[in-house]
Structure 1
Amino acid sequence: MSSLLQTLPHRHVLTLPTLPEAVRTARETAEQTLTEWGIGLRHPAVDPALLVLGELVTNSVRHAADCSPQLTVIYAAGRDCLAFAVHDRHPYQPPLGTLGAGTDGTGATGATGGLATVMEVTLGLGGSAVVRPDADGRGKSIWITLPL
Protein backbone atom coordinates (compact mmCIF):
# COMPACT_ATOMS: atom_id res chain seq x y z
CA MET A 1 0.00 0.00 0.00
CA SER A 2 2.87 2.38 0.69
CA SER A 3 3.95 2.56 -2.94
CA LEU A 4 0.33 3.12 -4.01
CA LEU A 5 -0.06 6.09 -1.66
CA GLN A 6 3.19 7.64 -2.85
CA THR A 7 1.89 7.65 -6.42
CA LEU A 8 -1.37 9.43 -5.63
CA PRO A 9 -1.18 12.91 -7.21
CA HIS A 10 -3.40 14.71 -4.72
CA ARG A 11 -2.52 15.18 -1.06
CA HIS A 12 -3.69 17.50 1.73
CA VAL A 13 -2.65 17.51 5.41
CA LEU A 14 -4.70 19.01 8.25
CA THR A 15 -3.61 19.20 11.90
CA LEU A 16 -6.24 19.96 14.52
CA PRO A 17 -6.56 20.11 18.30
CA THR A 18 -7.91 16.80 19.63
CA LEU A 19 -11.28 18.32 20.50
CA PRO A 20 -14.84 17.38 19.48
CA GLU A 21 -14.92 20.17 16.87
CA ALA A 22 -12.20 18.30 14.96
CA VAL A 23 -14.77 15.82 13.63
CA ARG A 24 -16.78 18.50 11.84
CA THR A 25 -13.68 20.32 10.62
CA ALA A 26 -12.14 17.12 9.23
CA ARG A 27 -15.35 16.25 7.34
CA GLU A 28 -15.82 19.78 5.99
CA THR A 29 -12.18 19.86 4.88
CA ALA A 30 -12.65 16.49 3.16
CA GLU A 31 -15.69 17.79 1.26
CA GLN A 32 -13.87 20.94 0.16
CA THR A 33 -10.70 19.07 -0.77
CA LEU A 34 -12.50 16.36 -2.74
CA THR A 35 -14.42 19.02 -4.66
CA GLU A 36 -11.18 20.85 -5.47
CA TRP A 37 -9.74 17.55 -6.75
CA GLY A 38 -12.74 17.01 -9.04
CA ILE A 39 -14.33 14.24 -6.98
CA GLY A 40 -18.02 15.08 -6.81
CA LEU A 41 -19.74 14.90 -3.43
CA ARG A 42 -22.40 12.67 -5.04
CA HIS A 43 -19.82 10.03 -5.93
CA PRO A 44 -20.95 6.77 -4.25
CA ALA A 45 -17.72 6.47 -2.24
CA VAL A 46 -17.89 9.96 -0.70
CA ASP A 47 -20.64 9.53 1.92
CA PRO A 48 -19.18 6.25 3.24
CA ALA A 49 -15.71 7.82 3.25
CA LEU A 50 -17.00 10.76 5.30
CA LEU A 51 -18.65 8.34 7.74
CA VAL A 52 -15.41 6.39 8.18
CA LEU A 53 -13.38 9.58 8.54
CA GLY A 54 -15.79 10.88 11.18
CA GLU A 55 -15.53 7.61 13.15
CA LEU A 56 -11.73 7.65 13.10
CA VAL A 57 -11.48 11.29 14.18
CA THR A 58 -14.10 10.67 16.87
CA ASN A 59 -12.03 7.75 18.20
CA SER A 60 -8.94 9.96 18.41
CA VAL A 61 -10.91 12.67 20.23
CA ARG A 62 -12.47 10.19 22.67
CA HIS A 63 -9.52 7.93 23.36
CA ALA A 64 -6.29 9.78 22.53
CA ALA A 65 -6.78 13.35 23.71
CA ASP A 66 -4.87 12.79 26.97
CA CYS A 67 -1.79 11.54 25.10
CA SER A 68 -2.21 13.52 21.91
CA PRO A 69 -3.21 17.19 22.09
CA GLN A 70 -3.32 17.24 18.28
CA LEU A 71 -4.42 14.85 15.58
CA THR A 72 -3.52 14.93 11.91
CA VAL A 73 -5.68 13.97 8.96
CA ILE A 74 -3.99 13.15 5.66
CA TYR A 75 -6.16 13.12 2.56
CA ALA A 76 -4.92 11.62 -0.73
CA ALA A 77 -6.54 10.71 -4.04
CA GLY A 78 -5.87 9.59 -7.55
CA ARG A 79 -7.93 8.74 -10.60
CA ASP A 80 -9.30 5.51 -9.11
CA CYS A 81 -8.44 5.67 -5.41
CA LEU A 82 -9.25 7.74 -2.33
CA ALA A 83 -7.12 7.37 0.79
CA PHE A 84 -6.97 9.10 4.14
CA ALA A 85 -5.33 8.62 7.48
CA VAL A 86 -5.97 9.81 10.99
CA HIS A 87 -2.86 10.09 13.14
CA ASP A 88 -2.61 10.58 16.89
CA ARG A 89 0.08 10.04 19.52
CA HIS A 90 -1.76 7.43 21.58
CA PRO A 91 0.26 4.19 21.66
CA TYR A 92 -2.71 1.79 21.40
CA GLN A 93 -2.86 0.12 17.99
CA PRO A 94 -6.30 -1.38 17.40
CA PRO A 95 -6.31 -4.85 15.82
CA LEU A 96 -8.16 -4.03 12.60
CA GLY A 97 -7.53 -7.51 11.21
CA THR A 98 -9.86 -9.05 13.79
CA LEU A 99 -12.73 -6.78 12.76
CA GLY A 100 -14.22 -8.09 9.55
CA ALA A 101 -17.13 -7.44 7.24
CA GLY A 102 -19.22 -9.92 9.25
CA THR A 103 -18.76 -8.00 12.50
CA ASP A 104 -22.12 -6.74 13.64
CA GLY A 105 -20.80 -4.65 16.54
CA THR A 106 -23.15 -6.16 19.14
CA GLY A 107 -21.66 -5.95 22.56
CA ALA A 108 -18.87 -3.73 21.28
CA THR A 109 -18.15 -0.55 23.17
CA GLY A 110 -15.80 2.39 22.82
CA ALA A 111 -13.34 2.30 19.94
CA THR A 112 -14.19 -1.28 19.00
CA GLY A 113 -17.80 -0.42 18.03
CA GLY A 114 -16.71 2.49 15.86
CA LEU A 115 -13.87 0.51 14.33
CA ALA A 116 -16.25 -2.33 13.53
CA THR A 117 -18.31 0.18 11.55
CA VAL A 118 -15.15 1.49 9.88
CA MET A 119 -14.14 -2.01 8.82
CA GLU A 120 -17.62 -3.02 7.68
CA VAL A 121 -17.98 0.06 5.47
CA THR A 122 -14.40 -0.05 4.19
CA LEU A 123 -14.42 -3.74 3.31
CA GLY A 124 -17.95 -3.49 1.93
CA LEU A 125 -16.70 -0.96 -0.61
CA GLY A 126 -13.73 -3.13 -1.55
CA GLY A 127 -11.30 -0.94 0.38
CA SER A 128 -8.56 -1.65 2.87
CA ALA A 129 -7.50 -0.47 6.31
CA VAL A 130 -4.14 -0.66 8.03
CA VAL A 131 -2.63 0.63 11.27
CA ARG A 132 0.86 2.06 10.89
CA PRO A 133 2.75 2.63 14.15
CA ASP A 134 5.02 5.63 14.59
CA ALA A 135 8.73 4.76 14.60
CA ASP A 136 8.91 5.38 18.35
CA GLY A 137 5.84 3.22 19.08
CA ARG A 138 4.08 6.09 20.83
CA GLY A 139 1.48 6.86 18.17
CA LYS A 140 -0.12 5.53 15.03
CA SER A 141 -1.93 6.32 11.82
CA ILE A 142 -4.96 4.44 10.62
CA TRP A 143 -4.98 4.45 6.81
CA ILE A 144 -8.15 3.80 4.82
CA THR A 145 -8.04 3.26 1.05
CA LEU A 146 -11.23 3.14 -1.03
CA PRO A 147 -11.70 2.57 -4.75
CA LEU A 148 -13.33 5.36 -6.76
Structure 2
Amino acid sequence: MTTQLEALPHRHVLTLPAEPSAVRVARETAEQVLVEWGIGLRHPAVGPALLILSELVTNSVRHATILSPQLTVFYAAGRDCLALAVHDRHPYQPPLYASVSGTGNGAGGLGTVMELTLGLGGTAVVRGDGDGKGKSIWITLPL
Protein backbone atom coordinates (compact mmCIF):
# COMPACT_ATOMS: atom_id res chain seq x y z
CA MET A 1 0.00 0.00 0.00
CA THR A 2 1.34 3.43 -0.94
CA THR A 3 2.01 5.56 2.13
CA GLN A 4 3.10 8.93 0.78
CA LEU A 5 0.41 11.33 -0.38
CA GLU A 6 2.76 12.75 -3.01
CA ALA A 7 2.88 9.31 -4.65
CA LEU A 8 -0.90 9.26 -5.14
CA PRO A 9 -1.74 10.49 -8.65
CA HIS A 10 -5.37 11.39 -7.98
CA ARG A 11 -6.10 14.31 -5.63
CA HIS A 12 -9.03 16.58 -4.87
CA VAL A 13 -9.51 19.26 -2.18
CA LEU A 14 -12.83 20.66 -1.01
CA THR A 15 -13.36 23.50 1.48
CA LEU A 16 -16.80 23.77 3.06
CA PRO A 17 -18.57 25.81 5.73
CA ALA A 18 -18.57 23.84 8.99
CA GLU A 19 -22.29 23.21 9.03
CA PRO A 20 -24.38 20.02 8.88
CA SER A 21 -24.81 20.13 5.08
CA ALA A 22 -21.03 19.66 4.76
CA VAL A 23 -21.44 15.97 5.55
CA ARG A 24 -23.67 15.36 2.53
CA VAL A 25 -21.55 17.51 0.21
CA ALA A 26 -18.29 15.82 1.28
CA ARG A 27 -19.80 12.37 0.76
CA GLU A 28 -21.32 13.21 -2.63
CA THR A 29 -18.02 14.73 -3.73
CA ALA A 30 -16.20 11.57 -2.66
CA GLU A 31 -18.56 9.43 -4.72
CA GLN A 32 -18.05 11.67 -7.74
CA VAL A 33 -14.24 11.76 -7.59
CA LEU A 34 -13.96 8.03 -6.91
CA VAL A 35 -15.99 7.27 -10.04
CA GLU A 36 -13.90 9.79 -12.04
CA TRP A 37 -10.76 8.02 -10.80
CA GLY A 38 -12.07 4.61 -11.89
CA ILE A 39 -12.82 3.32 -8.39
CA GLY A 40 -16.25 1.72 -8.52
CA LEU A 41 -18.72 2.56 -5.80
CA ARG A 42 -19.17 -1.20 -5.26
CA HIS A 43 -15.51 -1.67 -4.34
CA PRO A 44 -15.41 -3.22 -0.84
CA ALA A 45 -13.45 -0.27 0.61
CA VAL A 46 -15.77 2.45 -0.71
CA GLY A 47 -18.78 1.97 1.60
CA PRO A 48 -16.63 2.00 4.74
CA ALA A 49 -14.58 4.93 3.38
CA LEU A 50 -17.76 6.97 2.86
CA LEU A 51 -18.92 6.20 6.40
CA ILE A 52 -15.48 7.13 7.79
CA LEU A 53 -15.56 10.40 5.86
CA SER A 54 -19.07 11.18 7.10
CA GLU A 55 -18.03 10.58 10.71
CA LEU A 56 -14.92 12.76 10.44
CA VAL A 57 -16.81 15.65 8.84
CA THR A 58 -19.60 15.30 11.43
CA ASN A 59 -17.02 15.49 14.23
CA SER A 60 -15.53 18.68 12.79
CA VAL A 61 -18.97 20.24 12.44
CA ARG A 62 -19.97 19.26 15.99
CA HIS A 63 -16.77 19.98 17.86
CA ALA A 64 -14.66 22.48 15.92
CA THR A 65 -17.11 25.01 14.48
CA ILE A 66 -16.62 27.53 17.29
CA LEU A 67 -12.96 27.97 16.28
CA SER A 68 -13.14 26.76 12.69
CA PRO A 69 -15.98 28.13 10.56
CA GLN A 70 -14.64 26.10 7.61
CA LEU A 71 -13.29 22.61 7.16
CA THR A 72 -11.28 21.13 4.34
CA VAL A 73 -11.60 17.62 2.96
CA PHE A 74 -8.72 15.98 1.10
CA TYR A 75 -9.28 13.04 -1.21
CA ALA A 76 -6.42 11.10 -2.80
CA ALA A 77 -6.01 7.74 -4.48
CA GLY A 78 -3.57 5.57 -6.32
CA ARG A 79 -3.56 2.10 -7.78
CA ASP A 80 -3.63 0.39 -4.38
CA CYS A 81 -4.53 3.11 -1.89
CA LEU A 82 -7.27 5.55 -0.91
CA ALA A 83 -6.54 8.44 1.45
CA LEU A 84 -9.06 10.78 3.06
CA ALA A 85 -8.49 13.63 5.47
CA VAL A 86 -10.57 16.24 7.24
CA HIS A 87 -8.88 19.41 8.43
CA ASP A 88 -10.21 22.04 10.84
CA ARG A 89 -8.70 24.87 12.84
CA HIS A 90 -9.50 23.53 16.30
CA PRO A 91 -6.36 22.59 18.24
CA TYR A 92 -7.72 19.49 20.02
CA GLN A 93 -6.14 16.31 18.67
CA PRO A 94 -8.28 13.30 19.61
CA PRO A 95 -6.51 10.08 20.66
CA LEU A 96 -7.62 7.88 17.76
CA TYR A 97 -6.33 4.55 19.00
CA ALA A 98 -7.77 5.05 22.50
CA SER A 99 -11.22 4.95 20.89
CA VAL A 100 -10.55 1.32 19.90
CA SER A 101 -8.78 0.09 23.01
CA GLY A 102 -11.47 1.37 25.33
CA THR A 103 -9.01 3.45 27.33
CA GLY A 104 -10.41 6.77 26.19
CA ASN A 105 -13.80 8.38 25.86
CA GLY A 106 -13.74 7.99 22.08
CA ALA A 107 -16.78 5.78 21.82
CA GLY A 108 -19.16 6.60 19.03
CA GLY A 109 -17.94 8.29 15.86
CA LEU A 110 -14.18 7.92 16.29
CA GLY A 111 -14.62 4.39 17.57
CA THR A 112 -16.50 3.56 14.38
CA VAL A 113 -13.85 5.30 12.26
CA MET A 114 -11.07 3.33 13.89
CA GLU A 115 -12.86 -0.04 13.81
CA LEU A 116 -13.56 0.37 10.09
CA THR A 117 -10.07 1.65 9.31
CA LEU A 118 -8.26 -1.09 11.19
CA GLY A 119 -10.68 -3.75 9.98
CA LEU A 120 -9.75 -2.89 6.39
CA GLY A 121 -6.02 -2.92 7.18
CA GLY A 122 -5.77 0.86 6.98
CA THR A 123 -4.03 3.48 9.06
CA ALA A 124 -5.12 6.62 10.88
CA VAL A 125 -3.11 9.58 12.08
CA VAL A 126 -3.75 13.03 13.49
CA ARG A 127 -1.40 15.69 12.14
CA GLY A 128 -1.29 19.02 13.92
CA ASP A 129 -0.85 22.28 12.04
CA GLY A 130 2.54 23.93 12.39
CA ASP A 131 1.05 26.74 14.48
CA GLY A 132 -0.69 24.33 16.88
CA LYS A 133 -4.11 25.81 16.12
CA GLY A 134 -5.57 23.10 13.92
CA LYS A 135 -5.26 19.52 12.79
CA SER A 136 -6.03 17.01 10.06
CA ILE A 137 -7.18 13.46 10.61
CA TRP A 138 -5.82 11.25 7.83
CA ILE A 139 -7.20 7.83 6.97
CA THR A 140 -5.43 5.58 4.48
CA LEU A 141 -7.12 2.44 3.18
CA PRO A 142 -5.83 -0.28 0.87
CA LEU A 143 -7.70 -0.81 -2.39
Shorter chain as normaliser: what TM range? over 0.9
The C-alpha deviation readout for 1:16-42, integer Å capped at 9, x for no partner, is 000000000000000000000000000
**Segments ≥4 residues shifted beyond 3 Å:** none
Count of residue pairs the alignment pairs up: 142
- Aligned twin of 1:69: 69
Q: Give the C-alpha shift of residue 98 in structure 1.
A: 1.8
State how far apart, in whole Å, the 2-side matches of 1:131 and 1:123 are.
Answer: 15
1:11 aligns with 2:11: yes
CA distance, structure 1, for counterparts of residue 3 and residue 47 of structure 2: 26
CA distance in structure 1 between the partners assigned to 2:99 and 2:76 by the alignment: 24
Out of 114, 118, 129, the position equivalent to 2:109 is 114
Percent identical pairs in the alignment equals 76
Q: For the aligned residues, what is the CA RMSD?
A: 1.8
Gaps of 5+ in 1: none
- Give the whole-Å Cα distance in 1 for the aligned partners of 2:115 and 2:5: 22
- The aligned counterpart of 2:50 is 50
Match of 2:33 in 1: 33
Change beyond 3 A, Cα 1:3–1:147: closer
User: How many Å separate the matches in 2 of 1:21 and 1:76?
Assistant: 22
CA, structure 1 residues 92+112, in 2 after alignment: closer, same or farther (shift >3 Å)?
farther
